[in-house]
Amino acid sequence: MTYEDIRYEIDGPAAVITINRPERYNAFRGRTVEELIKAFRAAWADRQVQAVILTGAGDKAFCTGGDVKQRAETGDYGPTESGMFEIGYLHKLIRDIPKPVIAAVNGVAVGGGHVLHVLCDVSLASETARFGQAGPKVGSFDAGFGTAYLARVVGEKKAREIWFWCRMYDAGEALRMGLVNAVVPPAELLPTALAWAREVAEKSPTALRFLKQSFNADTDHQAGLSNLAMSALDLFTASPEGLEGARAFAEKRKPDFNAHVNWH
């Protein structure tokens, strides 16, 4: 398998999947999502792989979500082999793969990139990592796992703060709110993630599979909310309000949403 937007490497018992678009702060387009799906499926099928590490290229960004510049330019996230933008399926795949998924957050995790790390089983953060949501600032949202599951992780009050105010939080704040499992110096991030992968690889894979499925069972109903949210997002991003958010981001100006206030 050849990849353009990601790197896929095997290191001992770990599959290391790296979003490789540093020039776009590792934002994902349709092709990126498609390649991530192929990589996670390859890791699922590989009997040598006992854990998956998801990270970003460079030291600035883990992932900044959907490529808003691409959306501003073309109105979508670009072409794919399937003809679909399958971010919802990627979310489900991260949850369903019967192996622990470790997020190694090397920089900014914002928007849809923040959702990706939240969905991983555990998150390790570089001291330089920063976390937050940006949807309401750029004419987007994730009303599925990105909100409902986040509330299970950090609590309702904090999850609402994260989404409504679109603030950024440093690694120390993320650790205190239970958003990440550990914080390490930048140079130690990937070695630490690999050490966690080697440690979990010593455990019973069948026990781990059942445990992951048991944890997921409590929140699997949120997949229905996620499907509804993705359908709504498709409509919203093509609306004048959604397009204003994307254009303002691309033009590096504040969006003007005043014309779209409607509480009726």
Residue 249 tokens read as 């981001």
Q: Which residues contact 221 (CB under 8 A, 6 or more apart)?
A: none
Residue 109, marked binder = yes
b/e 146-183 (16+ beta carbons within 10 angstroms → b) = bbbbbbeebeeebbebbbeebeebebeebbebebbbeb
Residue 140 counted as an annotated binding residue: yes
Half-sphere exposure of 158 (CA within 13 A, CB side): 17
Q: In the chain, what are the helix, strand and coil shares in percent, each to the nearest 5?
A: 50, 15, 35
Widest distance between CA atoms in the chain: 57
Known binding residue 3? Answer is no
Q: How far apart are CA 60 and CA 50, in angstroms?
A: 28
Q: Does the annotation flag 178 for ligand binding?
A: no
Residue 126 among known ligand-binding residues: no
Give DSSP secondary structure letters for 49-101: --EEEEEESTTTEEE--B-HHHHHHHSSS---SSSS--HHHHHHHHHHSSS-E
Is 101 within 8 Å of 62 (Cβ atoms)? no
123 in a known ligand binding site = no
Binding residues for substrate: 77, 108-112, 140, 252
Binding residues: 77, 108-112, 140, 252
